[in-house]
Amino acid sequence: MSTIFAPITGRGGAVTVVRLSGPQALAQAEALTGRLPPPRRAALRKLYHEGRLLDEALLVTFPRPHSFTGEDCVELSLHGGRAVLAVVSAALVALGARPAEPGEFSRRAFEAGKLDLLQAEAMADLIAAETEAQRAQAVGGALHEACAAWRERLRQLMARQEALIDFPDEDLPPEVEAALTGGIAVLRDELRAALALAPAAERLREGLEFVILGPPNAGKSTLLNALAGEDVAIVSDSPGTTRDAVGVRVDFGGVPVHLTDTAGLRDTADAIEAEGVKRAQARAAKADFVLLAAGPGEDFAAPPEGIPFLRLRTKADLGGEGVSARTGAGMAQLRAQLAAQAQALTGTKGAPAPARPRQMACLRDTQAALSRALALAEPELRGEELRIAASALARLAGGIAVEEILDAVFSGFCIGK
Ligand SMILES: Nc1nc2c(ncn2[C@@H]2O[C@H](COP(=O)(O)OP(=O)(O)OP(=O)(O)O)[C@@H](O)[C@H]2O)c(=O)[nH]1
Ligand SMILES: [Mg+2]
């Protein structure tokens, strides 16, 4: 097993923490510092390599198994900056360590049984969380807890099913059979409920797409700038100003939303503008939500089929109802409406919900096997379906994950995770 290292803090700070993990971690740290402090006690040490002073760093050792990866680990709090990191990295390589691959620390932690696959995924989501709702979803661990409880219940159902196999038919108490199928049905329904929340959980993990659509000069770009709180899109009084779709990340009620301003919809002989109109409609057709904007007295554009939308009158300062991006009138209410919409599209209320295709596939397989089990009266056949359900559920936690799945999950992580 190689000893690996990587910075585990972001760039540009005053301090860069480098984690070293593996069988040689303590020896390599000792080679750099001369003398290691007692486990889990921080100490300031000068780092030397081949007689050269590299840096002065705070050093903490975490001997196995009480470390993030379960291996011997050392964390070096170096001074931030490229040059320090480069020279310390070179020294560690000279001592036999190698840079960690993306997700390699987490993978080692998983392999040491420090965290299961759901916890590893939740940790990656927590580190990537940009908004409050994303943080809350990742930190809650609802799916991890639910998965453990489901596995335990399924184990008990399987034990009861096994007991029935040895029973002669005529002696079978009907209430035992009823309790068994009832238990399977309740579990199956809970998995279905979790799967029903999957679209919301996935949207929260990935962020929503909101599109502003409407006739030229409706004030769409002005609205985007006002909602984003920055000057992103060009505003002018000549209709047909916006051609390319212009997007910006905004936080609506703790939910990350990619808000896109589009070209004003009209028939036009200008080929570039016509392409912009086409793109506007294509964007709106794929959006999670469409904001239809129109000035006083103007017709609203037709909403794309099947997509929730809001009709919004702009330029209310010129008279009439609606909002005015110019004076700010109605903007607070609009923000609140958009936040409510974003929350409704992503709300799981803390209930367990799969947010990744891998998790959904495992839950679907489990649910399908339980449904098949319910349709079978023969104890041996039903027992076999329950075993299939149990192994699909074990895959959700990573219990019997194959190499390719682990590669796919952990390679999606960043270096240092
Ligand atoms: N009075 C008033 N004028 C506004 C308001 N919002 C936008 N305008 C003006 O309306 C004109 C068009 O604004 P834009 O935001 O460029 O409109 P648009 O819908 O993006 O236009 P296209 O990109 O051409 O489709 C500009 O002159 C803006 O200053 C508003 O709330 N009140
Ligand atoms: Mg515009």
Question: What DSSP letter does each residue of 13-68 carry, written as one string?
Answer: SSEEEEEEESTTHHHHHHHHHSSPPSTT--EEEEEEETTEEEEEEEEEEE-TTSSS
The token pair at 39 is 């486990």
Ligand 2 center–CA 170 separation, angstroms:
77
Query: For atom 5 of ligand 1, which residue has the closest CA?
Result: 315
Report the nearest atom of ligand 1 relative to the CA of 214.
19
List the one residue out of 325, 321, 285 whose CA is nearest residue 303. Answer: 285
Q: What's the confidence (pLDDT) of residue 168? A: 66
Ligand 1 center–CA 269 separation, angstroms:
22
Q: Is 216 in the pocket of ligand 1 (CB under 6 A)?
A: yes
Ligand 1 center–CA 342 separation, angstroms:
25
Under the banding of pLDDT at 50, 70 and 90, the label for residue 173 is confident
Ligand 1 center–CA 217 separation, angstroms:
5
Contact 76/47 with Cβ under 8 angstroms?
Answer: yes
Terminal alpha carbon distance of the chain: 18
Under the banding of pLDDT at 50, 70 and 90, the label for residue 160 is confident
Report the nearest atom of ligand 1 relative to the CA of 218.
19
Q: Is 45 in the pocket of ligand 1 (CB under 6 A)?
A: no
**CA 76 to CA 73: how far, in whole Å?**
10
Under the banding of pLDDT at 50, 70 and 90, the label for residue 175 is confident
Give the C-alpha distances (Å, rounded to integers) separating 250 from 247, 253, 281, 386.
10, 10, 21, 45
Tell me the per-residue pLDDT of 195-216, one tens digit each, with 9 for 90 and over.
999 999 999 999 999 999 999 9
Q: Is 224 in the pocket of ligand 1 (CB under 6 A)?
A: no
Q: Is 102 in the pocket of ligand 1 (CB under 6 A)?
A: no
Average pLDDT over residues 244-252: 96
**CA 292 to CA 62: how far, in whole Å?**
57
Average pLDDT over residues 30-51: 96
**CA 84 to CA 78: how far, in whole Å?**
7
Q: Could you say which ligand is closest to the alpha carbon of residue 222?
A: 1
Please name each of the domains of the chain with its CATH number: 4-100 (3.30.1360.120), 119-197+355-411 (1.20.120.430), 207-346 (3.40.50.300)
Q: Is 314 in the pocket of ligand 1 (CB under 6 A)?
A: yes
Q: What's the confidence (pLDDT) of residue 164? A: 79
Burial classification of residue 32, based on how many CB atoms lie within 10 Å of its CB (0-12 exposed, 13-18 middle, 19 or more buried): buried
Residues 6+ apart with CB under 8 A from 151: 390, 393, 394, 397
Q: Could you say which ligand is closest to the alpha carbon of residue 220?
A: 1
Q: Is 217 in the pocket of ligand 1 (CB under 6 A)?
A: yes
The token pair at 249 is 């990340």
Ligand 1 center–CA 394 separation, angstroms:
56
Q: What's the confidence (pLDDT) of residue 265? A: 97
Average pLDDT over residues 180-184: 95
Q: What's the confidence (pLDDT) of residue 402? A: 66
Tell me the per-residue pLDDT of 78-98, one tens digit each, with 9 for 90 and over.
999 999 999 999 999 999 999
Q: Is 235 in the pocket of ligand 1 (CB under 6 A)?
A: yes
pTM of the model: 0.86
Query: For atom 13 of ligand 1, which residue has the closest CA?
Result: 219
Ligand 1 pocket test target in 235, 242, 259 with most atoms within 8 Å of CB? 235
Q: Is 225 in the pocket of ligand 1 (CB under 6 A)?
A: no
Query: For atom 3 of ligand 1, which residue has the closest CA?
Result: 315
Look at residue 305 and tell me whether its pLDDT is greater than 80: yes
What's the length of the chain? 417
**CA 79 to CA 295: how far, in whole Å?**
56
Look at residue 59 and tell me whether its pLDDT is greater than 70: yes
Q: What's the confidence (pLDDT) of residue 117? A: 92
Q: What's the confidence (pLDDT) of residue 236? A: 96
Q: At what angle do helices 82-94 and 25-33 cross, to 10 degrees?
A: 120
Q: Is 219 in the pocket of ligand 1 (CB under 6 A)?
A: yes
Q: Is 343 in the pocket of ligand 1 (CB under 6 A)?
A: no
Query: For atom 12 of ligand 1, which residue has the closest CA?
Result: 217
Residue carrying the six token digits 């709300």: 347
Under the banding of pLDDT at 50, 70 and 90, the label for residue 156 is very high
Burial profile 187-196: b = 16 or more Cβ within 10 angstroms, e = fewer: bbebbeebbe
